[in-house]
Structure 1
Amino acid sequence: MKRVLIVQLTRFGDLVQTKRLILTLAKRGFEVHLCVDRSLKDLANIIYPECVVHELIAHGTGISDNGMTSVLPFNFKVFQTLKDINFDKIYNLNFSPMNYVLSSLFDPRKVVGHKRVNGQTVKDPWLDLAFRFSTERRNNINLVDYWTALSPDMIPPSQVNPVAAPGGGGIGVVMAGRESRRSLPFDVFAPLILSARSVNKNKNIFLLGSSSEKKAGEKLLSKFPSSIAKDTVNLAGKTDWKELIETVSKLDLLMTPDTGTMHLAAHLGTPVLGFFLSSAWCSETGPYGKGHTIIQADFDCSPCVESQPCYNNLKCLEPFKESNMARFIATRKAEHLPQGLSVFESECDFLGTEYVLKAGHDATKDRRERIRRFIGCYLGILDLGEYGPFPELAEKFYKEKDWITRSRLLS
């Protein structure tokens, strides 16, 4: 039996977004092993039952009261287990210190992605090139496709997640993501939820999130009329992974910022209505597959870098506050959409998931389509003779080593 190891040591949403790579490798006949942070082991076992899951303590959530004295022996044992397995390939997806330590256990010729060679950190040529595309974040590709392109013969994007369809179980609401500026304040979010509820009459509302969102959920409830508040269940901090999956899988709609639960909904085929602002941009991290809608804040400073201060008083939040915003949620008519917002719906194309404009503006559409064709030719999906050449893109994105060393475009 051929075996591969995927090392995905980041967080909830990233684990779900590894799905296309996992399915691709499984279709190629590999037994897929998956190494994740200890806090995500149960989730990984549920959503990827075909994988052999290994757990590491990579984040603080997995550290017990004994601190590092418990981490080192636990991780050492896992390292030894992984080292003793004869993997044909190791897909190391992250560039954290833990990932590099783990990559050092294996023959570097077997490691794809991030690795150490003779003590130096090395990035796979595809990741090196794709990282340069992030200089044009509006035109970047979905993170799911970024990771999957490390493997040849990717499965079609339409085979990754189900086409989104209402489940009949009401409306789910995720209050906040990991990055605070990407989230809508409860007083801004409340009228949008009520507007969606007006279309889906007599539907229950479920507030989802971690225990830290419980109080935010209570504040949100205070903005609801009593007739709707009685049909609202605050599940923040009250669901384990299995219960969260059961709840999300039955929803008609999930209203959310860019969150892990959003990606879980896409995995389950639950329609997403996403609110993207600040550093979130739908072409990079929007829900994967067909049938999801993103309302994207679009300003000259969008998307920003979350770790840097906002010098524009978070102006990307302002359109969501306008009274017409709730009206748009109810009607989905372009004339009701506030200035500064664009609406995109997810589709699948030759490369992966792409977002198509439905209302507002998409100033970089032509540029993004050309970059997608450029990437398609590099990956061998499209014929360079038919779609190329791309002199201006090659000049911007290629370095000398891309021509000197082997690349998919030249092979």
Structure 2
Amino acid sequence: MNTLVVNLTRFGDLLQTQPVVCGLAARGERVGLVCLENFVQATALLSDLSHASGIPGARFLADLDRSWPHALAGCLDYADKVRREFAPDRVINLTPSLPARLLARALSGGAVQGFGLDDFGFGAYSTPWAAFLEATSRHRGSSPFNLVDLFRKAAHLDDDRPSFRLKDPEPAALEALRALLAELGAPPGASPVGLQLGASAAMRQWPVESFASLARHLLDRHGLFPVLLGSGGEQALAEAFAASGVPHASLVGRTGLAELAAAVRLMRLVVSNDTGTMHLAAGLGVPVLAVFLATAQPWDTGPYLPGACCVEPDMECHPCPFGHQCPIGWACREKVRPEVLAACVDGWMERGVWPELPGRGVRLWESVVQPDGFMGLRSLSGHGSGERAVWIGVQRLAWRRFLDGLPPAFEGHEADALTEEFRAGLRTTLEQASALLELLAQQARVLLAAPRPALRAKFMTTWQRLHALFSADQRLCALAHLWLHLSQDEGQDIARFAAFADSVSQLVRALRDLLASRP
């Protein structure tokens, strides 16, 4: 079978498609990939990939400015070309945007797995996991799962041992990078440490001064020679680092994606913001120390590498929502101090493990594979019993079973560490939701017996009240999105809708009971 995967996202997300490609290939399928044209070179880093095609988005936009029929013809010609070259038997779309859904439908000629469209042009989901992936991409703090695991589940993969291992660079490429580093002043035989100064936005960048302070410490104490990584657009950051006077070699703007992979593979350690370079290091098995600032958090976009270390500021406002205008000047960037990262590396270099560091103003996590096969985080700073981590743990248990179509199965102690204030506020919402769901079930039974317009109007009013109730509580935003989209999917059949509403009711009641007040 030929399976075509569509992923029209950025570099790091594209690399995180690797476990999907490997999982499909392990079934004996021939796997192709459609990505943005400017990232098509990155597909050479993916293992088990038989075909890759880059969509010329810039050309389509230029055509659209001239003539929309011409632009549409270009899109259809592109879809025809991909079908001729790869002949997909199945299309899996991992990008929830409308253009990606339209492209996937054009490529498949019919049903699409992951994110699709129905016959009327409305969004459709082949699995609740796809709807959940879309929900958590919109609401920060609502995702308890790593993006890699969400990709796998959206692609209908249930393998317990996913493989996130990119292709190793060719020996010739590694030798060429060694020669380049020597030319740039790296001492012979030095152990290099890669520093990725940039990020997708300035607010997500750890200050250059902090990188320089850390680099000085690593060079003086451990002999780790700093190597700057990044694209040509980050040259100003490299120049600011150079002004610190710390000896280093800069590869910023000197590497394509293949050369960047070779450079990363040579590193003893990569210190990075939440970037594609971080995911590249994880996929190559290179140790990672990553900093997550502003909207970035390690629970969903952290490195998919057991033993990676993730640092985020211990601030009530972190992570902030997308589009947030920070009233305190992105203070999180200064909250993560270089001496904390220095202490992390000291412990790792001297004892081979990341150290426990409580009380340093940060939340420190180590990536670990959980018993269910999903990637999780283990606290190294005493935050594992904190309210945020406990609630994420509750969500992991709740969503994993709900999205797999299984009833809730709490043991009863999972929320014990939550404060009564937290529990009471959420419990009130859940109690109201439970009552509305019971009312909705009664109305559905009446509608089945007598589908009159007046009864349907009452039914829709209750449905809307439930969506508004879920939407009003930030802790239930993901449930609001699922309720909106999945209940609409089932809405053509009242019996199917009633079954879906019953599964939501079971989840709501289980969470309500779990959060019951304790004597």
* TM-score category of the 2 structures, normalised to the smaller one: 0.7 to 0.9
- Counterpart in 1 of 2:131? 128
Give the whole-Å Cα distance in 1 for the aligned partners of 2:334 and 2:292.
Answer: 13
Q: Supply the AA of the counterpart residue of 1:404.
A: F
Give the whole-Å Cα distance in 1 for the aligned partners of 2:66 and 2:43.
Answer: 24
- Counterpart in 2 of 1:82? 82
Q: Supply the AA of the counterpart residue of 1:367.
A: W
Give the whole-Å Cα distance in 2 for the aligned partners of 1:28 and 1:328.
Answer: 40
- Corresponding position: 1:366 with 2:369: no
- Counterpart in 1 of 2:368? 347
**8 Å contact kept, 2:196–2:273:** yes
The verdict on how the C-alpha distance between 1:67 and 1:78 changes in structure 2, with shifts beyond 3 A counting, is same
Which residues in structure 2 correspond to 1:22-171 (within 5 Å)?
Answer: 22-48=21-47, 50-58=49-57, 75-84=75-84, 86-106=87-107, 110-124=111-125, 125-133=128-136, 135=139, 137=141, 139-157=143-161, 159-161=163-165, 169-171=191-193
**Secondary structure of the corresponding residue to residue 154 of structure 2:** coil
**Secondary structure of the corresponding residue to residue 254 of structure 1:** strand
The verdict on how the C-alpha distance between 1:250 and 1:328 changes in structure 2, with shifts beyond 3 A counting, is closer
The verdict on how the C-alpha distance between 1:42 and 1:388 changes in structure 2, with shifts beyond 3 A counting, is same
Higher strand share: 1
**Secondary structure of the corresponding residue to residue 22 of structure 1:** helix
* Cα displacement (A) at 1:185: 1.9
**Secondary structure of the corresponding residue to residue 141 of structure 1:** coil
Taking structure 1 as the reference length, the TM-score comes to 0.83
- Counterpart in 2 of 1:242? 258
Which residues in structure 2 correspond to 1:116-265 (within 5 Å)?
Answer: 116-124=117-125, 125-133=128-136, 135=139, 137=141, 139-157=143-161, 159-161=163-165, 169-201=191-223, 203-225=224-246, 229=247, 232-265=248-281
Give the whole-Å Cα distance in 2 for the aligned partners of 1:184 and 1:14.
Answer: 21
Give the whole-Å Cα distance in 2 for the aligned partners of 1:129 and 1:333.
Answer: 34
Give the whole-Å Cα distance in 2 for the aligned partners of 1:325 and 1:45.
Answer: 33
Give the whole-Å Cα distance in 1 for the aligned partners of 2:32 and 2:140.
Answer: 33
Q: CA RMSD in A?
A: 3.5
**Secondary structure of the corresponding residue to residue 309 of structure 1:** coil
Give the whole-Å Cα distance in 1 for the aligned partners of 2:316 and 2:159.
Answer: 36
**Secondary structure of the corresponding residue to residue 359 of structure 1:** coil
Give the whole-Å Cα distance in 1 for the aligned partners of 2:8 and 2:228.
Answer: 27
| Higher RCO (CA-CA < 8 Å; seq separation 6+) | 1
Q: Supply the AA of the counterpart residue of 1:170.
A: P
**Secondary structure of the corresponding residue to residue 149 of structure 1:** helix
The structure that has the greater radius of gyration is 2
**Secondary structure of the corresponding residue to residue 141 of structure 2:** helix
Give the whole-Å Cα distance in 2 for the aligned partners of 1:208 and 1:67.
Answer: 37
Q: Supply the AA of the counterpart residue of 1:16.
A: L
Q: Supply the AA of the counterpart residue of 1:188.
A: S
**8 Å contact kept, 2:140–2:295:** no
**8 Å contact kept, 1:3–1:32:** yes
Percent of residue pairs identical: 23
Give the whole-Å Cα distance in 2 for the aligned partners of 1:325 and 1:10.
Answer: 30
* Cα displacement (A) at 1:298: 2.7
Q: Count matched residues.
A: 395
Taking structure 2 as the reference length, the TM-score comes to 0.67
Give the whole-Å Cα distance in 1 for the aligned partners of 2:286 and 2:366.
Answer: 14
* Cα displacement (A) at 1:109: 5.1
Give the whole-Å Cα distance in 1 for the aligned partners of 2:407 and 2:117.
Answer: 33
- Counterpart in 1 of 2:400? 376
Q: Supply the AA of the counterpart residue of 1:342.
A: R
* Cα displacement (A) at 1:198: 3.7
Give the whole-Å Cα distance in 2 for the aligned partners of 1:335 and 1:388.
Answer: 31
Instruction: Show structure 1 runs of 5+ residues with no match.
Output: none
Give the whole-Å Cα distance in 1 for the aligned partners of 2:411 and 2:233.
Answer: 50
**8 Å contact kept, 2:2–2:32:** yes
Higher helix share: 2
Q: Supply the AA of the counterpart residue of 1:361.
A: H
The verdict on how the C-alpha distance between 1:333 and 1:86 changes in structure 2, with shifts beyond 3 A counting, is closer
The verdict on how the C-alpha distance between 1:4 and 1:72 changes in structure 2, with shifts beyond 3 A counting, is same
**8 Å contact kept, 1:277–1:297:** yes
**8 Å contact kept, 1:218–1:234:** no
Give the whole-Å Cα distance in 1 for the aligned partners of 2:202 and 2:395.
Answer: 31
* Cα displacement (A) at 1:315: 2.0
Give the whole-Å Cα distance in 2 for the aligned partners of 1:128 and 1:272.
Answer: 30
The verdict on how the C-alpha distance between 1:68 and 1:50 changes in structure 2, with shifts beyond 3 A counting, is farther
The verdict on how the C-alpha distance between 1:310 and 1:68 changes in structure 2, with shifts beyond 3 A counting, is farther
